[in-house]
Amino acid sequence: MAQPYLKKDDDRDDEAEYSPFMGIEKGAVLQEAKVFNDPQLDPRRCSQVITKLLYLLNQGETFTKVEATGVFFAVTKLFQSKDIGLRRMVYLIIKELSPSAEEVIIVTSSLMKDMNSKTDMYRANAIRVLCRIIDGTLLTQIERYLKQAIVDKNPVVASAALVSGIHLLQTNPEIVRRWSNEVQEAVQSRAALVQFHSLALLHQIRQNDRLAVSKLVTSLTKGTVRSPLAQCLLIRYTSQVIREAGPNTQTADRPFFDYLDGCLRHKAEMVIFEAARAITELTGVTNRELTPAITVLQLFLSSSKPVLRFAAVRTLNKVAMTHPMAVTNCNIDMESLISDQNRSIATLAITTLLKTGNESSVDRLMKQITNFMSDIADEFKIVVVEAIRTLCLKFPLKYRSLMNFLSNILREEGGFEYKKAIVDSIVILIRDIPDAKESGLFHLCEFIEDCEFTYLSTQILHFLGNEGPKTADPSKYIRYIYNRVILENATVRSSAVSTLAKFGAMVDSLKPRIFILLKRCLFDSDDEVRDRATLYLNTIGCDGSVGETDNDMKDFLFGSLDVPLANLETSLRNYELSEEPFNIDSVPKEVKSQPLAEKKAPSKKPTGLGAPPSGPTSNLDAYEKTLSSIPEFSSFGKLFKSLAPVELTEAETEYAVNVVKHIYDGHVVFQYNCTNTIPEQLLENVTVIVDASEAEDFSEASSKPLRSLPYDSPGQTFVAFEKSDGAAIGKFTNTLKFIVKEVDPTNGEAEEDGVDDEYQLEDLEVVAADYMLKVGVSNFRNAWESMDPECERVDEYGLGVRESLAEAVGAVVNILGMQPCEGTETVPSNSRSHTCLLSGVFIGNVKVLVRLSFGIDGPKQVAMKLAVRSEDQSVSDAIHEIIASG
């Protein structure tokens, strides 16, 4: 018997990757579309061409108006074919082409004919297409047919009408809401899909009426819903009602909880899981409420169906973040899932065990994970690494085995994000567990010997320069650092030179050896490396002695730049070469975000100084230049800060007014930017009357009215207040006062006589954050340690009930108005504790550093520890007063 011809492996690969759509072009397909015009239609050939057109559209190919119209008119001729398969393709292509209002008329009659056809498939698809392409006017004409379709005996037709209603609710809600009776009747349908779609539509119709949603849930939880899909929806709606209602204060019971509990005994697995998940996600759920849900999920862990095992372990993983003790009963079942063929299930099982395990189980888990890590993708490995980091912080005494595990997987193959997650974890463990510093730094040094990622090498070298000199034997790290100068690219070599200099500055015994190594770097091929070596040699001292004072040298090497890089870049770009050298003190220290005015669409809002320039330097300079030119304000001294404009009027009002707060050491100036949006009016002698009765520490010093405010020509009026306290706060009521003169539209001249008028503006507040500049530091830890501990003040505060830890962090950061450092403003999801680092400059140019430690204390109760260091004890006290009063 002859042997069949065997293809080579590469031939088989080519065959496997072959696509019937490979290489098709729009022009060629449009030529093929001419078959739609053939007198004798070939349904199979026409279907193939439509398939190609649909493929092109779904791949993002755009058709011109002429091309789309040509294809659309050709497709409409296919309605004459009786072939069912071709008719379905016609429905699809009409939906994708989305014809214009003029073209819709061409197919409307054909679709309406199909909608009343005896063939159910035609009826269902025609309804879907019609509702996708028609407008509100035509919808009213077919509304009667759609209502009938909703209660049609055929479930396919009824579902088509209901799904169309869900889509139409976004564009024509008034019409769809009139179908409530028919939709309510469809909810009682015996067809599972009809019940599912009708319940979804009924909820969307009522979703903005909490009482109506509650009544809907009350009526349906009595047992009228049979469809498992619909029951899953009902469980979600019930959870929503429970969240909004909260527990009964008298009985501590939740409304409808018995229904959720009853669903745990349903015969459909999807309903059981949905109910269990809903219970675990209840706000402030108790152990008594959790127990039945956890029991059900535990049974799912041993299911033969992978989807059930995945759903259960994923839900338990989330529960473990808030109620780890409730999940411990499932640990034995989850340990058996570590070897599950589905790697997603295995990853979730391991991370859940890491969150719920005790100290004695750590070593056993590490052995199981070691064999497991090589089988999973990087994205799953990152999840495991983050879980191990959390576990190590939970059980610091186990740092040796956990640190060794991290160092071992650091040497294995992996992408950038995976390696970065491991390095970040080791760095965090070094910072939080003092005993782990020596071994952690050693593991990082070994990693950079063979690191392929420049970013990670430079970050590790920077960290090594800060932490290495403080260890018992700093000399052992020098070899690893100097190897980078010999073996790596220019970026890493530059970073290694800076790290060597830090060791030389901090460790006197190493200074002569560091000097020799830096001198060798003067012959490097890269100018950055040579420049850094020259700079640090001069800083340390040419003979190995200190060229400057120790404090100056350490401040230069370890201190912060004190100005944002974006501001420095802008100032350097604006600097013009002259005899006067560039002065870094002229660079604004506050971190400027993009003005809101730039992000919005153009509108009739004040321009000029009302919408300040985008550059941070030009922004403050422009304000200071304008204010110093006004005699009333010239004696106020140097401008400390100008804030972003705050709108005092609604959009599209007669007069648009916003205000900019300018902060001085002893004064606050309000700059009101006004725009007259009425063409027939001229405003004269425009002033703002400010009532400061709710701002006791402020007294009005002077004001500058605006003489004339023509139509659409922005102008400014100013009011200055003297403040008795350095960081005084208060609320101000504003009234715009002016003389109105009518303008003749023919010649544009205003009448001589005017009428006094006034316009109420929104209130304005001066808050504590107004007195703080957002100034970052490059190394928070060094900056913190360099601050005088005598000026530190620490206290604890209860922040009350908060939606999440992230919301609490954001609220405190906003109150203080300081710059978050090192990305600590971002709170990991479902974290129960977090530390946020802030820096800034308080009025009077006093540097301030803040360390905020947040933790969840009871159901949604957030506690905070606030540690403040500054250059002035009174400023540290002031920061605490701001939090206490806020």
- The CATH superfamily holding the domain 246-357 is Leucine-rich Repeat Variant (1.25.10.10)
Asked if residues 479 and 445 have their Cβ atoms less than 8 Å apart, the reply is no
Tell me what pLDDT residue 559 has.
66
Q: What pLDDT score was predicted for residue 561? A: 67
Residue 804, helix vs strand vs coil? coil
The C-alpha atoms of residue 735 and residue 674 are separated, in whole angstroms, by 12
Pick the CATH number of 596-766 from 2.40.480.10, 1.10.1060.10, 2.60.40.1480, 1.10.3720.10: 2.60.40.1480
Q: Cα(256)–Cα(240) distance, rounded to whole angstroms?
A: 11
Q: What pLDDT sits at residue 107?
A: 78
Residue reference for tokens 């308080």: 842
Q: How far apart are CA 652 and CA 517, in angstroms?
A: 68
Three-class SS of 156-207: HHHHHHHHHHHHHHHHCHHHHHCCHHHHHHHHCCCCHHHHHHHHHHHHHHHC
| Nearest one of 318, 285, 312 to 298, comparing CA atoms | 312
- The pLDDT value given to residue 5: 41
**CB-CB contact of 39 with 80 (8 Å):** no
Asked if 768 and 886 touch (Cβ cutoff 8 Å), the reply is: yes
Residue 393: its pLDDT value, please? Answer: 77
Q: What is the pLDDT of residue 549?
A: 56
Are the beta carbons of 68 and 61 closer than 8 angstroms? no
659 φ, ψ (degrees, to nearest 5): -130, 140
pLDDT for 544: 41
- The pair of structure tokens assigned to 555 is 């401040």
Q: Where are the domains positioned within the chain?
A: 246-357, 596-766, 770-885
Residue 554 has a pLDDT of: 66
Question: Other CB atoms closer than 10 Å to residue 800's CB: what's the count?
Answer: 10
- Rg of the Cα trace of the chain? 35
Contact 279, 254 (CB under 8 A): no
Comparing CA positions, the residue from 44, 42, 41, 49 lying closest to residue 24 is: 49
The predicted pLDDT at position 19 comes to 66
CA distances from 362 to 292, 354, 365, 426 (A): 28, 8, 5, 17
Residue 458: closest CA among 488, 503, 428, 413: 488
pLDDT at 606: 43
Which mean pLDDT values do the consecutive 10-residue runs of the chain (886 residues) have?
A: 43 53 82 86 89 87 84 85 87 80 73 81 85 78 85 89 87 85 88 90 86 86 84 90 66 72 89 91 83 90 90 88 81 82 83 75 72 72 79 78 83 85 88 85 90 90 89 90 90 92 88 90 91 87 50 67 76 81 76 40 39 45 81 85 88 86 91 88 90 88 89 89 84 91 79 86 89 82 80 86 83 88 78 85 89 79 88 87 79
Q: Do 575 and 554 meet the contact criterion of CB atoms below 8 Å apart?
A: no
Instruction: Tell me what pLDDT residue 308 has.
Output: 92
Query: Against a cut of 0.75, is the pTM above it?
Result: no
Contact 846, 868 (CB under 8 A): no
Determine which helix (DSSP H) or strand (DSSP E) holds 742, and give its type and residue range.
Answer: strand 730-742
Who's near 633: CB < 8 A, 6+ residues apart? 627, 667, 669, 702, 718, 720
Decide whether 246-357 matches 596-766 in CATH topology. Answer: no
Alpha-carbon span 464 to 540, nearest angstrom: 19
Measure Cα distances from 90 to 38, 53, 59, 122 in Å: 16, 11, 19, 11
Where are the extended beta strands (E) located within 10-90? none
Please give the single-letter amino acid code of residue 21: F
Position 457 scores a pLDDT of: 92
Distance CA 516, CA 563 (A): 33
Whether domain 770-885 has CATH 3.20.20.80: the reply is: no
* Alpha carbons 672 and 169: distance in angstroms, whole number: 44
Count of alpha carbons within 13 Å of 626, Cβ hemisphere only? 20
Q: 352: closest CA among 363, 338, 339, 342?
A: 338
